[in-house]
Chains A and B, each alone.
Chain A
Amino acid sequence: MKILPAFVTALLLLSAAPLLAHRVNIHAWVEGRDVQVRCAFSRASPAKNGRVTVYDASNGQELLNGLTDGEGAFRFPVPDEALKNGLRIRINAGEGHENQWLMEAGEFAAAVGAPDSSPGMPGEMPGQEQKAQDADTAEMNARPYNEDLRRIVSETLDAGLAPLRRDLAALTNPEPGPREIVGGLGWLVGLAGIILYFRGGRRP
């Protein structure tokens, strides 16, 4: 007979659902050559295993999708379309909780110059690149150095900006504070008061 309470307790623990919050927040930024997406219900509970879908912002075409990890994060390389049209990133956390984040084309300007392991120097003039491939030895020597420097600067910058980005994400998705709550209560009482005023005016 003790099975039933144990079962109910287990059920309650299993249903311990951060998925129950009112809405899901999404925040995305460019980090190096990737876009970093973070999804959370509130500061304390990340949106795990949410479906992130990335669209071309101008024509709505789906570019890629994937699931968020245990920390509500999802990372993907900047698609070519982003540079021209920008991106619309959508999170579906289930139970009707969805939200989206818009990134304009301008935000990806930094990603073009960011270090990359692929051959060819991004962000340089095509002519120059051609010259480099023509085996100009001096440039060949300078290139790894530039590349390293860029990577180091970019990594340091990303690390230093991380707390700022978190704060920014929290600011863009504020939790309701006393101002909103008291304001809402005032509205409700005020609405009732207005209705009573007009009803009372009609009565003899």
Chain B
Amino acid sequence: MHISEGVLSPAVLGSGAALAALGTAIGLRRLDYDRLMTVALLSAAFFVGSLVHIPVGLGSVHLVLNGLLGVLLGWAAFPAILAALALQGLLFQYGGLTVLGVNTFNMAFAGVLAAHARKGIARLLPGPGGQRTADFCGGALGVALAGFFTAAALAFSDEGFLTAAKLLFLAHLPVMAVEGVITLFTVSFIARVRPEMLNL
């Protein structure tokens, strides 16, 4: 999911940076500063998440956790993911500083959309079963949409949208399943112990 330096055209980099800045501004404006430590903790989870490798078949995949951040933080996922990606770029050399905007937008906006989808599904399917389905979809959709946005950004490079989208989607199927389960358990745990955290 981390697009490298020098792949995208300046136009894509510029619009990505502008959209990420806009999202971060919305996130910071809506942020209740009493919950700042929650944002920092989830940002830390995202930062470490990409180091957690899940063995699948012959290779391994890593967590993204953007769906979980979107569900728990809403628009505040933007500053959280921006800070985590900047540190990943500086310390691990994942991605890079010029693509920071594009990568932030791809993952954070996907998380925000997934959070909305989760609310929609929870409204459609009332009851505990529906709530669980909604939580699972929140986590899984975050990854799927991030793959979609990444492929869209790559569509303007020489790779082409369909090839990139297909590869990213197939490769991230196991991640989607794992993150759906992670989101499901995290959200139901928080709903039991700290329900006020979910009222955003």
A19 CB–B CB distance under 8 Å: yes
Residues of B within 8 A of A191 (CB): 40, 83
- Quick check: which of A78-86, A154-162, A181-189 contacts chain B, the rest being far away? A181-189
Q: Of A45, A92, A97, A188, which contacts B43 at CB under 8 A?
A: A188
- Size of interface on B: residues with Cβ below 8 Å to A: 47
Residues of B within 8 A of A20 (CB): 59-62, 171-172
- Does A176 lie within 8 Å of B91, measured CB to CB? yes
**Docked complex: A11-38 residues within 8 A CB-CB of B:** 11-24
Cα distance A195–B61 in the bound complex, in angstroms? 34
Q: Closest residue to A51 on the B side, CB-wise?
A: B158
A69 CB–B CB distance under 8 Å: no
Question: Interface SS of chain A: helix, strand, loop or mixed?
Answer: helix
Residues of A within 8 A of B39 (CB): 192
* A16-B58 CB under 8 A given contacts A23-B2, A192-B40, A196-B33: yes
- Does B84 lie within 8 Å of A96, measured CB to CB? no
- Does A22 lie within 8 Å of B2, measured CB to CB? yes
- Does A95 lie within 8 Å of B58, measured CB to CB? no
Cα distance A89–B172 in the bound complex, in angstroms? 29
Closest chain-B Cβ to A108's Cβ sits at a distance in Å of 24
One digit per residue, 1 when the CB lies within 8 angstroms of any chain A CB and 0 when it does not, for chain B 92-115 equals 111100000000000000000000
Closest chain-B Cβ to A59's Cβ sits at a distance in Å of 17
* A185-B94 CB under 8 A given contacts A12-B174, A17-B61: no
- Does B173 lie within 8 Å of A95, measured CB to CB? no
- Does B36 lie within 8 Å of A196, measured CB to CB? yes
- Size of interface on A: residues with Cβ below 8 Å to B: 37
Q: Of A17, A18, A176, which contacts B51 at CB under 8 A?
A: A176
Closest chain-B Cβ to A67's Cβ sits at a distance in Å of 15
One digit per residue, 1 when the CB lies within 8 angstroms of any chain B CB and 0 when it does not, for chain A 97-113 equals 11110000000000000
- Does A15 lie within 8 Å of B83, measured CB to CB? no
Cα distance A122–B126 in the bound complex, in angstroms? 80
- Does A192 lie within 8 Å of B50, measured CB to CB? no
Cα distance A22–B93 in the bound complex, in angstroms? 9
- Quick check: which of B3-11, B13-21, B133-141, B188-196 contacts chain A, the rest being far away? B3-11
- Does B59 lie within 8 Å of A24, measured CB to CB? no
One digit per residue, 1 when the CB lies within 8 angstroms of any chain A CB and 0 when it does not, for chain B 149-161 equals 0100110010100
Closest chain-A Cβ to B81's Cβ sits at a distance in Å of 11
Q: Closest residue to B8 on the A side, CB-wise?
A: A96
- Does B47 lie within 8 Å of A96, measured CB to CB? no
Closest chain-A Cβ to B87's Cβ sits at a distance in Å of 4
Q: Which of A20, A100, A191, A196 has the most CB of B within 10 A?
A: A20
- Does A184 lie within 8 Å of B87, measured CB to CB? yes
Residues of B within 8 A of A192 (CB): 36-37, 39-40
> With contacts A11-B173, A98-B5, A191-B40 known, what are 10 further pairs, Cβ within 8 A?
A12-B56, A15-B170, A20-B60, A21-B62, A22-B94, A95-B168, A96-B150, A96-B164, A188-B40, A195-B36
Question: Sorted from nearest, which 3 A-B pairs have the closest CB atoms?
Answer: A16-B57, A192-B40, A96-B3
